[in-house]
Structure 1
């Protein structure tokens, strides 16, 4: 599972970008005509951030804007000169365009040129995939320093004109679950005072023969007038499958590293919603590990979330402590996760 790398890889810093002021459930309820109490109880997310103005529908931030801000924040936090960056990897499910790739727009905003860029089209596993690619690029010895970035602007799929008064609960989930944001991490072969070692990364598609749990569609000239929704998901399947897969990921990573649950000081559980994250954390059964979660305050902003968790972790983890992160992508049932250790 965990392909060895020839050089050690460290996360030296992380950064994030959340657009605008937090939007609470009362404000979201007023804008969409959705019951605020239902959001509190069923979703369990208190606030989220939107790149669009809920009143006017105006797009105020692009994904490239947010990713560039998060990357610049990470570089500043780690005292890394942008000139040291040798590659960029971006994981997202909601690029600004099919072309040019958003990662290249981010490089442009950061003033970076003449370097490799990679964009991975993926949902909640995209951030972990970005870490995996960065880890192998550095671990091969070809590069010393790079940026792994994850972000999503989910509100591009939110129809503010739609009447949700009689929508089914499973349909309403898509309108209240998500938020927008970006996160980034600086990876390096050179350990620094605040660095953590990236010990293992898991990325495995396990959806053979299964229907996707989530679909994000796009429309061209030939089908733009079709009535199908751009975003659909089987929330019942997600509720049933994600907790089971999360436990499997936890034990696969622990077995690979020969760690025991008692070795863990921190747990970064999947960030689906406030309610789902709480249930999953309970089922993971690692009471001795401190939970690092953010989704109840940020909303589900997809590929930003693992980096937001890492940013918080770096402020708390101390020498000798270990952390394990779990992420599940329901689009085609992908197991993902990674392990960190403060030197």
Structure 2
């Protein structure tokens, strides 16, 4: 059986990096609290925090990431057989952002798919892309993940007076997009995608994160656009990450010592460190990015893959783990250098 191969990865970040000193200056949040509680050093926003003006859309970032991936893979638009985009924050409800991106890239007369999910959407997109490569005539696909979360944050409020379940969103998240070129050809070189795990695991559980869309008729001044149950996230995500690790190892019949790399969930700098320690894989090198990029949702696995692509050698093995706290989804995938 020929496994799909990730032949190239591209990413895109908007604007300059915003470090914790600048975040404190712009929003008035406590610098020590951000360092200790979040542990993220920098993030990038698609809006100007000083003016509230949006300078990058998801379409802009997804186009840049996809163009970078295609250039690295040496693939032209006419060679793309399908495109999949995963996001929790599309530019509009209609038209779908994936179709705006396809138009920008010069893609036409191909299937397009848009998946609505948090960070687990990137896993779902890779899963769907792998399945689409099994169709006759589908040899090369483009898979994209990205989010622009900052547009949901109200910058006209006194952030210092917000309760913690709202305040965390102003310091935890960033914006960005990533893309991968998938090939179904046996001769393709890169990172072979052996298996993808994608499971809903939130039966009977309250949501850990909620992001709301508002129509003009239902928007009120005191409506909360985004909130998190961070205590539930801190408790459940490490547990679910551990489950994903062992499910993938069992599926692949791999032992922990077979792993050269691990890509842990990218919630925040602090949480990622905790999860990596709990996974107990001292021989596997950690590939993380969230401390530098901020939590940019569906883009995160692609930023990790971009870092891994320059290191994974033929025959080396890696596992990626993802947990989405919205209604509790767990996912991941197994890779081998080819």
TM over 0.5: yes
TM-score interval (norm. to shorter): over 0.9
Q: Deviations over 1:190-235 (max 9, x none)?
A: 2566411100100000101110111111111331126321111111
Match among 148, 155, 158 for residue 153 of structure 1: 148
Change (3 A) 1:192 1:293: farther
Give the aligned CA root-mean-square deviation in angstroms.
1.2
SS at match of 1:316: coil
Match among 72, 81, 89 for residue 76 of structure 2: 81
In 2, distance between residues paired with 1:164 and 1:98?
Answer: 28
Task: Please name the residue that 1:25 is paired with.
Answer: 20
User: Is 2:114 aligned against 1:119?
Assistant: yes
CA contact (8 A) 2:2 2:185 kept: no
Residues 5-44 of structure 1: pairs in structure 2 closer than 5 A: 7-44=2-39
In 2, distance between residues paired with 1:192 and 1:307?
Answer: 23
Task: Please name the residue that 1:330 is paired with.
Answer: 325
TM-score (norm. length: structure 2): 0.98
Equivalenced residues, count = 338
Superposition deviation, residue 56 in structure 1: 1.3
SS at match of 2:326: coil
In 1, distance between residues paired with 2:308 and 2:188?
Answer: 15
CA contact (8 A) 1:243 1:280 kept: yes
Superposition deviation, residue 170 in structure 1: 3.0
Structure 1 runs of 4+ aligned residues shifted over 3 Å read: 191-194
Match among 304, 322, 329 for residue 299 of structure 2: 304
In 2, distance between residues paired with 1:119 and 1:84?
Answer: 20
In 2, distance between residues paired with 1:19 and 1:313?
Answer: 22
CA contact (8 A) 2:317 2:335 kept: yes
Residues 149-298 of structure 1: pairs in structure 2 closer than 5 A: 149-191=144-186, 194-225=189-220, 227-298=222-293
CA contact (8 A) 1:182 1:304 kept: yes
Superposition deviation, residue 246 in structure 1: 0.1
Q: Deviations over 1:176-196 (max 9, x none)?
A: 000000000000012566411
Unaligned runs of 5+ residues in structure 2 are none
In 1, distance between residues paired with 2:251 and 2:188?
Answer: 27
- Greater mean deviation of Cα atoms: 74-83 or 62-71: 74-83
CA contact (8 A) 2:10 2:179 kept: yes
In 1, distance between residues paired with 2:78 and 2:32?
Answer: 49
Unaligned runs of 5+ residues in structure 1 are 1-5
Match among 329, 332, 341 for residue 336 of structure 2: 341
In 2, distance between residues paired with 1:145 and 1:13?
Answer: 12
In 2, distance between residues paired with 1:166 and 1:73?
Answer: 41
In 2, distance between residues paired with 1:108 and 1:59?
Answer: 21
Residues 25-104 of structure 1: pairs in structure 2 closer than 5 A: 25-104=20-99
Task: Please name the residue that 1:135 is paired with.
Answer: 130
